[in-house]
Structure 1
Amino acid sequence: MEQSFDIPAQKPWSGIVKKGQTIRIEDTFGQQAIDTIFYCADDYSERYSSQDTLRAQGSAYITTGSKIMSCEGRVMLSVTADTSGRHDTSAGCCSCESNTVRFGHDTLYQHACRENFILELGRYGMTKRDIVANINFFMNVPISANGAMTVDDGISSPGDHVEMFAEMDVLCVISNCPQINNPCNGFDPTPIRVVIKG
């Protein structure tokens, strides 16, 4: 069985991935950041942990072979394929507040990932307090020798994808990033596709 979802530019999405299923997140047009948080479908208080995930693989990035870890130290998903090469989980998601600090107060009205997450989490009885450090699939965040991070031009091409095998039932919550002030989306947010199969 296969389900396919086309997610418009700048919009949120969520869905359940059952244990044993595979979720494929596709950067349809290239250079599009896809902010993602996973929650245990049976208990939303167990959710993605960037710290445990990075510690588990001893790497600053997520790619093929990475284990997506929960705050309870359990494996939520395993990355089985990745055509892009690496994905950030340190830079967090954009918000109206951070936009004003980085790009000026005239950007306050612009939609952001934090607002997308708030809208989508509300469907499951969660609030902004349930937003945790997320994965930024396809976002290029080089880290220099002194630990400084920058958001750089995206390195993903049209059709690049990452596939993950669910090790438990998970709720996947996505913000198809609406950021237009830095190069994470090539300054032009585009649609993406999610496929759940198995």
Structure 2
Amino acid sequence: MSDVPAAYQASKGSILDVDRDFYNSLTEGKAERTLVTIHTVPLRDGLAWEVPAGHVFRIKITEGSQVGDFNMWNLHNPRERMWASRTRQLQRAHVSTYDRLWSTLPYLRPMATIIDDTLADYGVDAQGGRVHDLLGTRCDPYVNRMLTGEDFDHHCHSNLVRAVEPWGLTEFDIHDVLNIFQCTGLNDDDKYFMKACPARKGDYLEFFAETDLLCAMSCCPGGDLSIDLWGPDARDPLETCNPLDVEIYRIDAELLIGWESPSVAAYAGRHGRKAPTTDWAAIKREHCC
């Protein structure tokens, strides 16, 4: 591995300098938490749900290994949505505890912070695989048609499209995903690979909602990815598919004293223009909550 320092580094007191004690205090066994609801994402299907700011949501393996493709938007302004590529730069390509999921420009703020991960100790395996990846993106029917000549309507992209339609969102709102529980890396040819999911029943990834969120997830039709989806050894991996649960918790108000949702990026939005026609700073403030 390279010992070259990261390009984006946290300075003390910056928004990248995470208050670990605060987030540790919100985890199970340390915080007064009330289970608000449980959602089940059916196998080979998608689901969307809302999470109020200051709540915790947990994505959990309930039956067998399964990969989930995750999207996220500001509940009140879907133009602000999770930005996978900037999160890779500011955090890492495979995220875990204390990493944050960042929003798109011109907002650029943490939307959620990972506070607990039962796979945090997985590390790097012998093939260079790691879990919870931002390297790749969702499977989709367009690539599948290109590779196989066949149509399949329950790829993650399509599952997410169906999931968000009740909120007035469309296919154009679906974006690059966080692949939860997925084990991936880059091979010696610098090409993306996927391995069998190491998560087992009871494993979970847990987030603290920094803003009011609309979340969506697809239970990948590839299941645990132990069976090839494309290529000479490809076959239907239905036998490896399982549902996933989403648990939402309300945190005791006293634990949140002093916490507030992050502000949108302070940049005024002039972009070198002397007299911008649009007051982007005012628009961002209007949609910040």
Task: Calculate the TM-score normalised by the size of structure 1.
Answer: 0.90
Contact 1:139–1:184 (CA under 8 A) maintained in structure 2? no
- The whole-number CA distance in structure 1 between the counterparts of 2:187 and 2:163 is 34
Q: Partner of 1:105 in structure 2?
A: 149
Following TM superposition, by how much is the alpha carbon of 1:144 offset from its aligned partner in structure 2, in angstroms? 3.2
- Equivalent residues of 1:40, 1:47 under 8 A apart: yes
Structure whose CA Rg is larger: 2
Residues 66/145 of structure 1: CA separation in 2 closer, same or farther (3 Å cut): farther
Measure, in 2, the Cα distance between the counterparts of 1:181 and 1:175. Answer: 13
How many angstroms apart in 2 are the aligned matches of 1:181 and 1:164?
A: 22
Match of 2:94 in 1: 61
The superposition leaves residues 116-148 of structure 1 with CA deviations (integer Å, 9 ceiling, x where unpaired) of 111112111111111110111001112235532
Aligned to 2:195: 152
Question: Is the 8 Å Cα contact of residues 29 and 191 (structure 1) preserved in structure 2?
Answer: yes
Identity of aligned residues (%): 25
Q: For residues 39-90 of structure 1, give each alpha carbon's deviation from its aligned partner in whole angstroms, at most 9, with x where no partner exists.
A: 0011011000001211111x21111111111112100010000112330112
Q: Which amino acid aligns with 2:117?
A: D
Residue equivalent to 1:195: 247
- SS of corresponding position for 1:136: strand
> Does structure 2 retain, via aligned residues, the 8 Å contact 1:16–1:41?
yes
1:132 aligns with 2:132: no
1:92 aligns with 2:126: no
Matching residue's letter, 1:120: A
Distance 2:80 2:223 in 1: 32
Q: How far apart, in 1, do the equivalents of 2:241 and 2:183 lie?
A: 15
The normalised TM-score by structure 2 is 0.63
1:168 counterpart SS class: coil
Q: Name whichever structure is richer in strand by fraction.
A: 1
CA drift of 1:98 comes to 1.7
Give the alignment of 1:9-48 within 5 angstroms.
9-48=43-82
Query: Which residue does the alignment assign to 1:122?
Result: 165
Name the aligned partner's letter for residue 165 of structure 2. G
Could you say what secondary structure the match of 1:93 adopts? coil
RMSD of Structure 2 on Structure 1 (CA)? 2.1
- What is the CA–CA distance in structure 1 between the aligned matches of 2:216 and 2:58, rounded to whole Å? 13
Alignment CA distance shift 1:100-1:180 (3 Å): farther
Give structure 2 stretches of 5+ with no counterpart: 1-33, 121-130, 229-235, 251-289
CA distance in 1, matches of 2:49, 2:118: 23
Q: Give the 3-state SS of the residue equivalent to 1:54 in structure 2.
A: helix
Contact 2:67 / 2:223 at 8 angstroms: preserved in 1? no
- Shift in Å, 1:157: 1.4
Distance 1:110 1:183, change over 3 A: farther
Hey, what's the Cα distance between the residues in 1 that align with 2:174 and 2:78?
11
The question of whether the paired residues in 1 share the 8 Å contact of 2:115 and 2:208 is answered with yes
Contact persistence 1:33–1:184 (CA under 8 A):
no
Tell me the secondary structure at the aligned position of residue 16 of structure 1.
strand
Contact 2:60 2:246 in 1 (8 A): yes
Larger relative contact order (C-alpha < 8 A, sep ≥ 6)?
1
Do 2:197 and 2:225's aligned partners in 1 also have CA atoms closer than 8 Å?
A: no
Count of aligned positions:
195
Equivalent position of 2:118 in the other structure: 83
Structure-1 separation of matches of 2:249 and 2:142: 37
**Structure 1 unaligned blocks of 5 or more:** none
